[in-house]
């Protein structure tokens, strides 16, 4: 690692070191790769899936890929926030994992700190990956890893509520028709739409489909298009189409409101599919509509499989084999089913829909989705996002108009 990269890494570590003291993890072993030769028989994998214990399908896949590559896997699983901090500290100590699986917005942070190798360096083939998903791991024209899968946001709808209100879901194609549907639902005595507008990244995450669906760009959060998106949400609250609780709703509490059966729509993600099956009413899913029609770009969630920088560069060849195995067509299908993800390649997406036709709207939503750090925003995104959620809070609470709130942002 050159001196410039070392300085960037040190700066990044200093910003997170105070929150690492309570970090916890589950592991079949621990530690990175410091002092290990290129032909070492043990390779370390760090991932953000502590819910999958030893013996789970995910853990067994890691072991199988290790066997295929001729090595033993030492896996450590962290909570998502802990993993970023640990990865930065390990890199500072030249003790990084061989394979690191991280939330996609974190990739740019680690790349800028000099922690990750590029796909040109480690020879990982990303040619089959959908370009919009791969973009979340790209910065300054370089690609740092490959997505293991993606989730995103769409609109769940309650078929019974819409039927009682005389709303044909096929008529909901843009903002005007969606608002008209909400009006009919309210007149029928039911509730319109629930979402999360909390003053955290969750709030920005949920606002972005409407923001991007207006034609706005994160490089100009005060644009007329951006104002129209925030005015849409504010208008829904003012007319009673959305509850005031959205200001404090997380995505979980927003889902709980929808699960009561009183709401027509809920903006939420693929991770609620299991809960939707248990809700006790018939539901459907449509992508978030754009202002004038079509599918709005929703932000992508999901992880990237990356290869951190190693002092012993001879280890990269085996790490490449591990990543290739984890993201192969056969393994992606099984993994993305386990994680409730849409696959990052068209071939596996087709297989998912062939297996479960109800995944079609989610595949469509993912195809239209966009990485939060795309457009070469990289580590600028968190700063922009904070101003965005603050503006949403100000406008929805009534302390500022949508225009004034976004101009201030």
Average pLDDT over residues 283-288: 96
Selection from 372, 317, 261, 351 nearest residue 121 by Cα: 317
Q: Which residues contact 47 (CB under 8 A, 6 or more apart)?
A: 58, 75, 76, 77, 78, 83, 101, 303
Q: Where are the domains of the chain?
A: 3-13+36-150+301-367, 153-298+377-408
Beta bridge partners of 101: 305
pLDDT for residue 8 is more than 50: no
Beta bridge partners of 44: 74
240 against 335, higher pLDDT:
240
What confidence score (pLDDT) does residue 302 get? Answer: 92
Average pLDDT over residues 40-45: 91
pLDDT tens per residue across span 316-349: 999 999 999 999 998 999 888 888 899 999 999 9
Average pLDDT over residues 261-273: 95
Given a contact cutoff of 8 angstroms between Cβ atoms, the answer to whether 78 and 23 are in contact is: yes
| Rounded CA separation 235/183 (Å) | 12
Topology, domain 153-298+377-408: D-Maltodextrin-Binding Protein; domain 2 (3.40.190)
Q: How far, in Å, are 226, 229, 392 from residue 216 at the CA level?
A: 5, 9, 15
What's the pLDDT band for 48 if we cut at 50, 70, 90? very high
What confidence score (pLDDT) does residue 36 get? Answer: 56
| Rounded CA separation 210/154 (Å) | 11
| Rounded CA separation 346/5 (Å) | 36
What's the pLDDT band for 37 if we cut at 50, 70, 90? low
| Rounded CA separation 341/133 (Å) | 12
pLDDT for residue 381 is more than 80: yes
Fold equal for 3-13+36-150+301-367 and 153-298+377-408: yes
What confidence score (pLDDT) does residue 310 get? Answer: 94
| Rounded CA separation 265/162 (Å) | 9
Average pLDDT over residues 284-288: 96
pLDDT tens per residue across span 79-138: 887 899 999 999 999 999 999 999 999 999 999 999 999 999 999 999 999 999 999 999
CATH architecture of 3-13+36-150+301-367: 3-Layer(aba) Sandwich (3.40)
pLDDT for residue 10 is more than 80: no
pTM listed for this prediction: 0.82
């Amino acid at each position: 690692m050159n001196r410039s990269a070392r300085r960037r890494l040190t700066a990044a570590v200093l910003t997170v070191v105070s929150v690492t003291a309570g970090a916890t993890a589950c592991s079949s072993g621990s530690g990175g790769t410091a002092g290990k030769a290129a032909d070492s028989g043990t390779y370390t994998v760090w991932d953000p899936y502590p819910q999958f214990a030893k013996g789970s399908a995910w853990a067994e896949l890691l072991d199988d890929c290790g066997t295929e590559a001729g090595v033993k896997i030492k896996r450590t699983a962290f909570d998502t926030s802990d993993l970023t901090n640990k990865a930065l500290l390990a890199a500072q100590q030249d003790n990084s994992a061989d394979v690191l699986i991280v939330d996609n917005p974190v990739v740019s942070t680690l790349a800028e700190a000099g922690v990750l190798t590029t796909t040109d360096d480690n020879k990982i083939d990303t040619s089959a990956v959908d370009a919009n998903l791969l973009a979340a791991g790209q910065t300054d024209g370089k690609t740092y890893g490959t997505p293991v899968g993606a989730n995103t946001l769409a609109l769940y709808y309650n078929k019974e509520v819409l039927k009682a209100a005389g709303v044909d879901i096929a008529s909901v194609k843009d903002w005007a028709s969606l608002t008209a549907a909400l009006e009919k639902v309210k007149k029928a005595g039911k509730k319109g739409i629930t979402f999360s507008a909390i003053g955290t990244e969750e709030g920005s995450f949920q606002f972005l489909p409407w923001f991007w669906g207006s034609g706005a760009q994160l490089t100009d959060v005060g644009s007329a298009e951006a104002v129209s998106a925030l005015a849409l949400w504010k208008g829904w609250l003012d007319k009673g189409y959305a509850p005031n609780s959205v200001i404090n709703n997380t995505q979980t509490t927003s889902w709980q409101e929808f699960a009561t059966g009183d709401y027509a729509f809920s903006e939420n993600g693929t991770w609620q599919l299991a809960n939707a099956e248990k809700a006790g009413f018939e539901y459907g899913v449509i992508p978030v509509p754009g202002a004038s029609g079509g599918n709005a770009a929703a932000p992508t969630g999901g992880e990237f499989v990356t290869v951190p920088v190693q002092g012993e560069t001879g280890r990269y060849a085996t790490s490449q084999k591990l990543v290739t195995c984890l993201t192969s067509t056969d393994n992606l299908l099984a993994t993305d089913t386990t994680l409730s993800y849409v696959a990052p390649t068209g071939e596996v997406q087709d297989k998912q829909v062939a297996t479960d036709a109800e995944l079609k709207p989610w595949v469509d939503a993912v195809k239209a989705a966009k990485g939060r750090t795309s457009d070469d925003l990289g580590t600028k995104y968190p700063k922009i996002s904070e101003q965005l959620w603050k503006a949403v809070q100000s406008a929805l609470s009534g302390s500022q108009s949508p225009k004034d709130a976004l101009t201030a942002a």
